[in-house]
Amino acid sequence: MSTSPIGSAKDLTIARRNLLERNASGKLDAPGLRRALGDLFEFWLATKATELGITERSGFAIVAVGGLGRREVVPYSDLDLILLHDEMNPDRVSDVADGLWYPLWDANIALDHSVRTVPQALAVARDDVSAALGMTEARHIVGDEDLSSLLIGGIRQQWRTDIRRRLPDVLTHAQARWQRAGDIAHRTEPDLKNGRGGLRDVQLLSALALGQLTDGMGSLRADSPGAAPQLAYARLLDIRTELHRIAGRAREQVRAQDADEIGAALRVGDRFDLSRVISDASRTISYAVEVGIRTASNSVPRRSLAALRRTPVRRPLDEGVVEHQGEIVLARNAIPSRDAGLVLRVASASARTGLPIGASTLNRLADFAPELRAPWSTEARDDLIGLLSTGHRILGPIEALDRTGLWGRLLPEWGAVRDLPPRDAIHTWTVDRHLVETVAYAATMTTRVARPDLLLLGALIHDLGKGRDADHSVVGAELAVAIGQRMGLWPQDTETLAAMVRHHLLLPQIATRRDLGDPATAAEVAYKLGHDRQLLELLAVLAEADSKATGPGVWGDWKASLIAELVRRTSALIEGDEPPAPEPLSDELKALAEAGGFAVTLTHTPDGPHTHLVTMVAPDRPGLLAKMAGVLALAGLRVQAATVNGHAGSAVNTFRVVPRFGEPPQDVLLRQQLIAAVDGKLDVGTKLAERAAAEETSRPVGLSKEEGLPALFGVAPPRTTWTHPRADVSVLELRAPDAVGLLSKVTGIIERRGGEVVWATATTLGGTVVDNFGLRLTGDAERARQRIEAEVVAATSPPRVNTDTDDVADQALT
């Protein structure tokens, strides 16, 4: 740079234009342009200060905040300057200010300026959060350095002293900015500066670190996938630099018409490649900010009602997983290197409770947790389905796993769609976020299908074939076969999953483009689906979830009615399913029943390291099934599947169970508890209610009564269906959200309302139960069915709980 004076506005304009031309010609890269612009402005300010008599002992100082304060000047950003003075003659202050500001205005430099004494500047920072955040980055440029040091030192000391009191206001300020600008990740035209995951969020992290509440940008390690926040910040800053240059003005939103040129200037590719870079960088920053805010909030005493919360020091949630200080962490005895399923249990616990996963826990899992061996165990698969069943609460856990490379270990195919932008404007989200959104919507519809597990898996992978040079439905179906085999699905379930992916666009395309009145239309759909009623049911729900996750207006009454009519006509061509029937008993179980009395056996199964099979035999009597299920719930055992039968006057019931945490009780203890329940010495219903009340008092505010679940965003409502395969037996099918003691509660209702459970099968698929009860009804059968159905639906409907929004720090994380 020339060392000749450039004190005039014309000189400054020419010098800035020359730098931009050098950048456009490739002689300066984006970081080089920022350094050159910073040097230019500092040199100009120093030159002008000399002209105005601003010297070391003049009582004046020029202090930069914002981009110049950070030495990150982009082409058309504001120049944020403070002219400090020591309360000298007002006329002299006015002359110096005019001499400084007018040449900058004449040079068309955007200027954010102020003229203050040090006490005045400190007062402004004390009253205005935005000003305080900006002044934490203040830097001396020229003039009386003692005056600048007095301000900079005072601001930082004031910030450290007041930050704990002011943190709610700081977070409210950030929330308001996010509300205005939206998220950067997954958006087609993101606001790089103000959006969530943008440049100002990293500056917020730095301010929290200055207040000694966090470790700044060290929340995400530099060696983790997706790069550290420092690198992500540099990427966004380079993109913003080129955006300003190409637009020829200050602009923070990356528009499609500029994206190709920006990508070419930065040598990252076309606009789609640029979009992936932006999304990846902003997600890295978003994750670091969430961790930083959480860390800062935990170090500040809570206010008002929040101060009265009493959270257990370490509340067990699952095997090897506990809650500690509002985060999901590993139990002291958990060994990640020996427990491949621990990652899924941690993520599932996070989604169920609404609590974030601790950063140290994620790092420890990333370092030591082994990959799941193929085929997955039933237990691991159930944990994945449980995670997917939680609706929009999966966003946080999946994002956390993805940012630390753990999600890619579970689903290696995810890398091809990570941050992949859509190819058409109708899509709101990037492909990976669209898949997660589809799962979230599908989770609210799981009771509409007989296989909610396949619905959720299909929603998760239906677009995994995108980003390749072939029909994404065909490629995706091939990937689905590999995924199904790796996850240990039964061959027929793998075939169904692949067919869901292959035909996930079939119903919307035919319903909106063909004559539904033509019998050949429904016949074609039935033929393509192999006359599979279950597949038709799954595709109908997946089409709705997929449309709702695409963008506003994609799903509506017209499209819904067309697909419903096509499904109705196609279903009429497909043969009906056989009604459910009781499973036959083995000779061993028959002999156990014929022996009479009480018997309980507990054995380990090959379905996973924590899965067991409990067989209970007892003299049959009304209410027995409810007592058996209640004993298991009181013992902390979650029922994954159950078969209820009878022989020789004895009930023979088998339950596949998983302990909520720890080891299961011995079968001798379960037998004693069962005898006590049958004899009336143990009231399982009352005990379960007492346990629920105890958990209610210990859960964090804003969580529901069912296992401390958050107030539900959207849960599939319960559905009941009656069939009558025999004159003396009616079959009730119940599909409902899972909950502790659900089987005991439902069977208790049935037996109190005149129903005898002749046989039953119960299956828990993720967060949804699909139970069938063969019932013999006494008295007025129709009246009994109505009463049973009404009470079962009421008892299995998810609770609605109001959340406490007093704590601003909690709001900032939602």
When pLDDT is averaged across residues 182-188 and rounded to a whole number, the result is 82
Q: What local confidence, expressed as pLDDT, does residue 288 receive?
A: 87
Phi, psi of 784 (to 5 degrees): -65, -40
246-295 pLDDT, tens digit per residue, is 988 888 999 888 999 999 999 999 888 899 899 989 988 998 888 888 88
The greatest distance separating any two alpha carbons of the chain, rounded to the nearest whole angstrom, comes to: 108
Q: Name the band, by pLDDT with cuts 50, 70 and 90, for residue 618.
A: very high
Coil, helix or strand at residue 288: helix
Q: What local confidence, expressed as pLDDT, does residue 778 receive?
A: 82
Average pLDDT, the chain: 87
Coil, helix or strand at residue 390: coil
Coil, helix or strand at residue 329: strand
User: 742 or 494, which is more confident?
Assistant: 494
Alpha helices for 635-680 (secondary structure H) = 667-678
70-94 pLDDT, tens digit per residue, is 999 999 988 999 999 987 788 899 9
Residue 810 has pLDDT above 60, yes or no: no
Q: What local confidence, expressed as pLDDT, does residue 220 receive?
A: 41
Q: What would the 3-class secondary structure string for 172-201 be?
A: HHHHHHHHHHCECCCCCCCECCCCECCHHH
Q: What would the 3-class secondary structure string for 132-152 be?
A: HHHHCCCEEEEECHHHHHHHH
Q: Of all residues in the chain, what percent are helix, strand and coil, respectively (each to 5)?
A: 55, 15, 30
Q: Of 226, 227, 201, which is closest to residue 216 (Cα–Cα)?
A: 201
Which residues are registered as beta bridge partners of 710? 703
C-alpha 489/C-alpha 378 separation (Å) is: 9
- For residue 601, how many other CB atoms are within 10 A of its CB? 14
C-alpha 167/C-alpha 148 separation (Å) is: 26
By DSSP bridging, strand 111-116 and strand 79-85 are parallel
Residue corresponding to tokens 């596949």 = 656
Cross-sheet strand order for the sheet of 315-318:
315-318, 321-324, 327-330
pTM of the model: 0.81
Contact indicator for 378, 609 with CB cutoff of 8 Å: no
Q: Name the band, by pLDDT with cuts 50, 70 and 90, for residue 562.
A: very high
Q: Name the band, by pLDDT with cuts 50, 70 and 90, for residue 2.
A: very low
Q: What local confidence, expressed as pLDDT, does residue 804 receive?
A: 37
Q: Of 331, 345, 437, 336, which is closest to residue 385 (Cα–Cα)?
A: 345
Q: 331-345, 379-393, 690-704, 712-726: which range is least confident on average?
A: 690-704
Q: Name the band, by pLDDT with cuts 50, 70 and 90, for residue 175.
A: very high
Q: What local confidence, expressed as pLDDT, does residue 3 receive?
A: 42
Give me the percent of the chain exceeding a pLDDT of 90: 56
User: 802 or 555, which is more confident?
Assistant: 555
404-450 pLDDT, tens digit per residue, is 899 999 999 999 999 888 877 677 788 999 999 999 999 999 999 99
When pLDDT is averaged across residues 107-119 and rounded to a whole number, the result is 91
C-alpha 217/C-alpha 228 separation (Å) is: 8
Which residues are registered as beta bridge partners of 755? 777
- Encoding tokens for residue 274? 């640029």
When pLDDT is averaged across residues 467-487 and rounded to a whole number, the result is 94
22-26, 72-76, 467-471: which has the highest mean pLDDT?
Answer: 72-76
- Encoding tokens for residue 804? 């406490």
- Our measurement of the distance from residue 20's CA atom to the centroid of its chain's CA atoms, rounded to an integer in Å, reads 41
Q: What local confidence, expressed as pLDDT, does residue 579 receive?
A: 65
C-alpha 665/C-alpha 109 separation (Å) is: 74
Q: What local confidence, expressed as pLDDT, does residue 582 receive?
A: 74
- Our measurement of the distance from residue 694's CA atom to the centroid of its chain's CA atoms, rounded to an integer in Å, reads 28
Residue 702 has pLDDT above 50, yes or no: no
When pLDDT is averaged across residues 220-233 and rounded to a whole number, the result is 61
Q: Of 487, 436, 490, which is closest to residue 463 (Cα–Cα)?
A: 436
Residue 238 has pLDDT above 90, yes or no: yes
| C-alpha dihedral (527, 528, 532, 536), degrees to nearest 10 | -120
